[in-house]
Amino acid sequence: MSRNTSLSFEVFPPKKEEEFENIFDFLREAAKLHPDFISCTYGAGGSRAGKTIEIASFIQKELGIDAIAHITCVGFTRADLEKNCEALQAAGVNRVLALRGDRPQHMTDEQFNSREFFYATDLVRYLKEHTSMQISGACYPEKHFEAPGLEEDLIHLKEKVDAGVSSLVTQMFFDNTCFYRFMELVRAKGISVPVHAGIMPITTAKQLGTTVSLSGSSVPKELADLIATYGENKEDMRKAGIDYAVRQIRDLKEHGVDGIHIYSMNKLKTTKEICGMI
Ligand code: FAD
C-alpha cells in the first residue's frame, strides 16, 4: 500500500468470553501489516460494552498503534462519557469515533429517544469542549437510512465536521461510483477532512443477509452474481469476495482516496490476504 493512502482496520469485542483472547492474537498479527490506526466498536448496553476500552488500550499501549475507541450517544449519559474518556486517556487512548449508535433490540423507543446526546454532533461538541480527544465521525456515501435525502444528510455532516471532527470513516459500500459521487458532494460542501473508505470483504453469502442489509448499502449486480455463483462453496466464495474487495481497493487508490478502512470482522486470514494483494 502506498503510504499516501492510509490503511486501517476495524475490530469488534467478541461476544463470547472464550473468544476474547483471540482478539489479542488477531491484533498482534494485524499489527505486522502496519496499519495507521485500528478502531474498536462499541455495542451500547451489551455485556461487551466495557471491552472497547480494554481492546483500544492494548492496541495503543502494547502494539504502539493509534487506537480509535468508538463511543455512542446511545448508552452514554454525560457522567458515563466523562468516566469513559478518563479511562481511555488513562489507557493512553486519545482518539475516538463519535457516533449516535442504533437502538439495541432490548431498548424501547422511549429509552432510545431520551438519550442525553441526541446526534453524534452533540457528542462531538461536548468532547471538543471538555476533552482533548481527537475526534472522528461516520459518513454514508449512500446516505444514512433515516435521512430524507443525501443533501439533508450532507448538511448535518458538515455541522458534525464543523463541530470538531478531524476525519471521517464511511459506511461500507460496494459500488465505488457511489463513493466518488459522494466525495464530489462532500468537497463541494466545503468538508475538507480526510475520508477513509470503509471496505467490507464479503466472504460468505450469509453476510449479505445480515451485516450488509443492516448497513443499507446497495449491492451491485456484479457482487450479487458472484454470490449466486460461488455462495454455496465456502472456499470459492471466500476467494471471490477477497478478489472483489481487492479490486475495489485498487480502484480507490487509483482515484487518490485518503484512506482504506477494512471492516476486518476480526478475520485474520482474510485481512492478511487482502493486505498482501494491495
Ligand atoms: P448522526 O451523525 O447523528 O446521524 C444520524 C442521522 O441523524 C442521520 O440521518 C443524519 O442526517 C441525522 N441528523 C444529524 N444531525 C441532525 C440534526 N441536527 N437534525 C436532524 N437530523 C440530523 N454503531 C454502534 O452502535 N457502535 C459502533 O461502534 C458503530 N460503529 C460505526 C462505525 C462506522 C464507520 C459507521 C459508518 C457506523 C457505525 N455504527 C456503530 C453505526 C451508527 O451508530 C449508525 O449508523 C447510526 O444510525 C448513525 O450514527 P452517526 O454517528 O452517523 O449519526
Contact 55, 25 (CB under 8 A): no
| Best mutation site among 156, 165, 170, 178 for ligand 1 pocket (most ligand atoms within 8 Å of CB) | 156
Rounded to whole angstroms, what are the CA distances from 236 to 46, 81, 204, 212, 240? 35, 45, 10, 20, 6
Kindly report, residue by residue over 86-101, the tens digit of the pLDDT.
999 999 999 999 999 9
pLDDT at residue 31, rounded to an integer: 98
- pLDDT grade, residue 46 (50/70/90)? low
Contact 12, 41 (CB under 8 A): yes
SS3 76: coil
- pLDDT grade, residue 258 (50/70/90)? very high
Distance 1 CA to ligand 1 centre (A): 29
Kindly give the residue spans of alpha helices, DSSP state H, lying in the chain.
Answer: 20-31, 51-57, 78-90, 109-113, 120-130, 150-164, 176-188, 206-207, 213-215, 221-230, 234-254, 268-277
Percent of the chain scored above 70 by pLDDT?
97
Residue 96 CA to residue 206 CA, distance in Å, equals: 30
SS3 70: strand
156 lines ligand 1 (CB under 6 A): yes
Nearest-CA residue for ligand 1 atom 17 is 156
Determine the structural domain holding residue 209 and report its residue range. 6-277
Least Cα distance to 68 among 9, 4, 117 occurs for 9
Distance 49 CA to ligand 1 centre (A): 18
Among the listed ranges 39-53, 231-245, 253-267, which one has the minimum average pLDDT value? 39-53
SS3 158: helix
171 within domain boundaries: yes
- pLDDT grade, residue 45 (50/70/90)? low
Residue range 239-250: mean pLDDT, rounded: 98
**Mean pLDDT rounded to a whole number for the chain:** 94
128 within domain boundaries: yes
pLDDT at residue 240, rounded to an integer: 97
167 lines ligand 1 (CB under 6 A): no
13 within domain boundaries: yes
Instruction: Say what the pTM is.
Output: 0.97
pLDDT at residue 47, rounded to an integer: 62
Residue 237 has pLDDT above 90, yes or no: yes
**Domain total of the chain:** 1
For residue 201, what is the domain's CATH number?
Answer: 3.20.20.220
Kindly report, residue by residue over 98-153, the tens digit of the pLDDT.
999 988 888 899 999 999 999 999 999 999 999 999 999 999 999 999 999 999 99
Residue range 179-183: mean pLDDT, rounded: 98
Among the listed ranges 48-57, 232-241, 265-274, which one has the minimum average pLDDT value? 48-57
The more confident residue out of 50 and 268 is: 268
**9, three cell numbers:** 482496520
237 within domain boundaries: yes
Atom of ligand 1 nearest to the CA of 52: 28
Residue 137 CA to residue 70 CA, distance in Å, equals: 9
pLDDT at residue 74, rounded to an integer: 93
- pLDDT grade, residue 214 (50/70/90)? confident
Kindly report, residue by residue over 13-44, the tens digit of the pLDDT.
998 888 888 999 999 999 999 999 999 999 87
Residue 170 CA to residue 209 CA, distance in Å, equals: 20
Atom of ligand 1 nearest to the CA of 101: 43
Residue 85 has pLDDT above 60, yes or no: yes
181 lines ligand 1 (CB under 6 A): no
1 within domain boundaries: no
HEC string for 175-224: CHHHHHHHHHHHHHCCCCCCEEEEECCCCCCHHHHHHHHHHCCCCCHHHH
146 lines ligand 1 (CB under 6 A): yes
